[in-house]
Structure 1
Amino acid sequence: METMLKLVLGFSALTSLFLTSSAQNCNNYTFNSSRVFSNCRDLPYLNSHLHWTFNQSTGQLDVAYRHDGINSTNRWVAWALNPAGSLASAMPGAQALVAILQNGTVRAYTSPISGYSTALQPGNLSFPVSGLTATYLNSEVIMFATLSLNRNVSSMVHAWQEGSVSGSTPQAHAMNSVNVNAKETLNLV
C-alpha cells in the first residue's frame, strides 16, 4: 500500500511539472487582445518568449515579446534586432524595443544601441516602427510592435535583456552568462 501511495504521489508530481512547463510554452499562449502570430519561440534565457508574423513580400514584422518573472517595479526589459550584427557583437548596432516598469505602470519606446555602454536612451531606429505598446500583468511585461524591415531579409541577430532602473534611467544589465548569452539568430521565414 505504501509503495502504491508513493507511485501515485510521484506520478502526480511529474504530471504537475509537465503541465506547468507546457503551460508556459509559447505555442499554448493566448493573448488577451486576441492577437494571433504565425510563429513563436521560447527563448532560452531570461524567461522570455517571442511571437511573430513576417510578411516577406512587404517586409512587415509583427512581434510580441513576452518577459516573465518581473516581480518588482523599477525594472526594464528590451528586445532588439541587429540588422548588421553578428552573434559575436550583437549589441552594437542593435535596434531595441524597451519597456520600463515603474510604480506599476509601463512605458515603451525605441532605442538605437550604438555601443556597449548604452543607457537605452529614446531615439528613432534604423527602420520604421509603429504600434509600439507595452502591458504589465501577472508579473509579465509584453511589448507589441510592427517593424518595417527590408523585404530581402530572412534572418537577423536578435537579443533580449533585463535590468534595473535608477530614477528613470535604465542601468546596465548583469554580465553573468545568462545575460551575455541572451542572443541568437532569428529565422524570420
Structure 2
Amino acid sequence: MKFIIFLLALAGLLFSCQNTTKENEKEETHHETSIVFGDSDFSFPELSAPAKQQAIQWGVFEDILAETKKLNGSNLRTLKNRSERLSEYSDSLFKKVPDTLNTNQIRSRLLVVKTRAEVLKQAAHSEILDSAALQNSVSEMNGAVKNLIVHLNEKFLKDKIDSQRLENEKMELREQQRYKDSIMNLERQDIQRRKL
C-alpha cells in the first residue's frame, strides 16, 4: 500500500513538473520575442575618411559595427545570436590590429569592446533573465563601440596634424637653407669683388 501511494505521489510530482516545464517554455518564448533591448534611436559617430579606408582593410571592424548597430531594438532570441557573433568578432578584432592602429589607446578601447561583448553574451545566455542587466550590457556595448570610433577618428586626425606639422617643418628648413645659401652666394660674390 505504501508503495502504491509512493508511486502515485511520484507520478503526480512528475506530471506537475512537466506542466511547469511547458509553462516555463511558453513564458520563455514569450520573453524572447516580446522584450526589446537597446536604444533603437542610438546613433554612432561617423568614421572619418581615413578611418573608413582603414576599416575597409580591417574587415572584422565593419562586421562588429554592423552587429552592434543591429543590436539595438533586438529581442532576446536575436540578442543571444548577435552577442555570440559580437564575442567572436571582438576577439578577432583584438587579435588582428593593423600596425597603423596598434597604439595603447586603440588597444585599450578594443579590450573594452571585447570585455563588453563577453559580458553581453553572458547576460544574454544567463538562465535567469535579468532584463535590466541585459539592457545595461547593450548600453555599455554601444558606449564601448562609440568610444572606439571616437578614438579611431582622433588617431587619424592626430596623424594628419602630425604629418602636416612635419611637412611644415621640412618646408621651413628648406626655406632656411635657401636663405643661408643665398647669403653664402652673396658673401662669395662680395669676396670675389674685393679680390678684383
TM-score range, shorter chain: under 0.3
Structure 1 or 2: more helix by fraction: 2
| Bigger CA radius of gyration | 2
TM-score scaled by length of structure 1: 0.24
Structure 1 or 2: more strand by fraction: 1
